[in-house]
Structure 1
């Protein structure tokens, strides 16, 4: 800081941070806990010292990864909010992303319930407008409310975690997504 004004991060520091968040998202989603930080540094193409300069511990890193993933989700949902007919494809894509991020979602459950609730609210709030528009245009059930999304996400997570066989879990979760969406969306 110069004279009380925060300085912008150097471009290389910004690139390193982005690479760390991408690599950490992959490793955490795979459920990797052993040798977590060295593996993240390796995948990000940086040294461990650089990793620890950005994120002093696993908690800080996990928090940053979740925040980063939520930002991606919010951006994705916002880009589709004006297209009510595309809500099914959007929700399907997000539910499939949840399957891919299953390991990260498991880690989130280790956080304080207040933190979990803030993150859950961000997801629900991101979907509120596009869901309302989909309801108004007759694409989804009229009784669907944003809180119902929590049920959908919880059901998919439960199915995804039901077995240690990754392929079987993905297949079962994919099937559950299809069944749930058929129950939520109106056939036209």
Structure 2
């Protein structure tokens, strides 16, 4: 039989509408349950708990998300995107630049206080992905410039300072959440007071580590 005489393979048939609808419902149920479970227990939780709460079998879960990291990243990106969109909307609706900046910190830490997986990702990577971290950095920079333009923020504060501060406060949320819930609010108030332009004493310059000389 020549190549031309060989039968043409039948085109792959799309999944029946009912099957697609079931798959979409299962995926939505997994995402919803994972969001709750990751928020409660963080990224180290056993995925069997997510399957149990979503009402699907482990095979179904793994068909949608081959690894736990796939599921965690998908959930975190969705949650981070929703949070950042809400933060943008709140800041845009706030005329006072200082209130916009402080409102951002309040909203960020309040969100993280109720979501262990989000705060874990923020303290280690600045966000679930490099893209999320960059978007957050850009937003913080915008808030800083607004405050600088009207003289509310001490002039030597950089965007990197604010990013590092947000990470430090996120770590405080993570480490004090069980023993001293709400302690981060005191630390935030202390930190914000230090950022005010009322403070005129120059900040210390960041330490620059000398490069280790290489041998020839």
Q: Give TM-score, length-normalised by structure 1.
A: 0.70
* Residue of structure 2 in register with 1:7 after alignment: none
Structure scoring higher RCO (CA < 8 A, sep ≥ 6) equals 1
Q: Distance in 1 between matches of 2:191 and 2:26?
A: 39
- The aligned residue for residue 100 of structure 1 is 114
- 1:134/1:60 CA distance change after superposition, 3 Å: same
Aligned-partner Cα distance in 2 for 1:18–1:137: 45
Distance change (3 Å), C-alpha of 1:110 and 1:47? farther
The reply to whether residue 77 of structure 1 matches residue 91 of structure 2 is: no
Shift in Å, 1:40: 1.6
Count of aligned pairs:
175
Write the mapping of 1:27-66 to structure 2, written as runs, cut at 5 A.
27-32=37-42, 33-34=44-45, 36-66=46-76
| In 1, Cα distance between equivalents of 2:186 and 2:109 | 11
Q: Which residue does the alignment assign to 2:30?
A: 20
Distance 1:104 1:53 in 2: 24
For structure 1, which runs of at least 5 residues remain unmatched after alignment?
4-9
Instruction: Return the TM-score normalized by structure 2.
Output: 0.62
1:117 positional shift: 4.4
**Structure 2 unaligned blocks of 5 or more:** 1-10, 13-19, 199-216
Q: Distance in 1 between matches of 2:129 and 2:87?
A: 20
**Residue 147 of structure 1, aligned match among 143, 160, 164:** 160
Aligned match of 1:174 = 185
In 2: Cα distance, 1:30 partner to 1:104 partner: 10
Instruction: Flag the structure with higher helix content.
Output: 1
